[in-house]
C-alpha cells in the first residue's frame, strides 16, 4: 500500500491493484467491478468474478511515473538522467510495461513547461541574486549590490 499524487494533485492510494483518491477505490483493470472500501481504520476488498490477482507491475509502473514527475519538478537534472536513475529501481518484469524513453522525456518537458521551473543560468548576465542571498550567516554583506552590468559583476 502506498500513497502517490494523482495528475490533479490529489492523494491516490495504490493497494493490491486498486487505485483511487476517495473512500472507495476501484480496480486498475478496465471493466472490472472489484472495489476497496475504507471503513474507519480498515480496508475491505470486494472482488467480482472477473477480478483476478493484482498486477504488481501496474502498481510499480504508477510509482515509477510518480517518481519521474516528482523529480522533474524538484531538480534540474537532464531528462535522460532522471529516467535512468528512476529505472534502476524497477524490477525486470516492470521495465517491460513502462513507456519508451522519448515519451518519458516529453512528460518531463511538459511538467517543466507547466510549472515554469527556472533554468540554470548559462551566462553571468542571466544570473540575478535575490536579497536574501546577498548576506552571509553573520548578516554581513556578501554581495554589496547587484548591478545589471554583467562585465562588473562578482
Same domain, 20 and 69: no
Residue 106 lies in a domain: yes
Same domain, 67 and 113: yes
* Average pLDDT of the residues of the chain: 73
Same domain, 66 and 38: no
What is the total count of domains within the chain? 2
pTM of the model: 0.52
The three-state DSSP-derived secondary structure of the chain is CEEEECCCCCEEEEECCEEECCCEEEECCCCCCCEEEEECCEEEEECCCCCCCCCHHHHHHHHHHHHHHHHHHHCCCCHHHHHHHHHCCCCCCHHHCCCCHHHHHHHHHHHHHHHCCCCCCCCHHHCCCCHHHCECCCCCECCCCCCCCCCCCC
Same domain, 66 and 88: yes
User: pLDDT of 73-92, one tens digit each?
Assistant: 888 888 999 999 998 888 88
pLDDT over threshold 80, residue 35: no
Same domain, 19 and 49: yes
**What is the domain extent for residue 45?**
1-54
Same domain, 36 and 75: no
Amino acid at each position: 500500500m502506498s500513497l502517490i499524487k494523482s495528475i490533479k494533485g490529489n492523494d491516490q492510494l495504490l493497494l493490491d491493484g486498486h487505485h483511487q483518491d476517495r473512500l472507495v477505490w476501484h480496480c486498475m483493470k478496465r471493466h472490472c467491478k472489484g472495489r476497496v472500501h475504507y471503513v474507519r481504520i480498515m480496508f475491505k476488498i470486494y472482488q467480482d468474478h472477473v477480478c483476478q490477482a493484482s498486477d504488481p507491475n501496474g502498481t510499480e509502473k504508477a510509482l515509477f511515473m510518480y517518481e519521474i514527475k516528482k523529480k522533474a519538478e524538484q531538480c534540474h537534472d537532464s531528462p535522460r538522467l532522471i529516467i535512468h536513475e528512476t529505472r534502476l529501481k524497477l524490477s525486470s518484469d516492470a521495465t517491460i510495461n513502462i513507456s519508451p524513453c522519448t515519451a518519458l522525456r516529453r512528460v518531463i518537458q511538459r511538467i517543466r513547461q507547466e510549472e515554469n521551473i527556472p533554468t540554470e543560468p548559462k551566462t553571468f548576465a542571466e544570473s540575478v541574486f535575490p536579497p536574501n542571498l546577498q548576506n552571509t550567516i553573520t548578516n554581513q554583506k556578501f554581495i554589496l549590490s547587484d548591478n545589471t552590468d554583467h562585465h562588473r559583476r562578482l
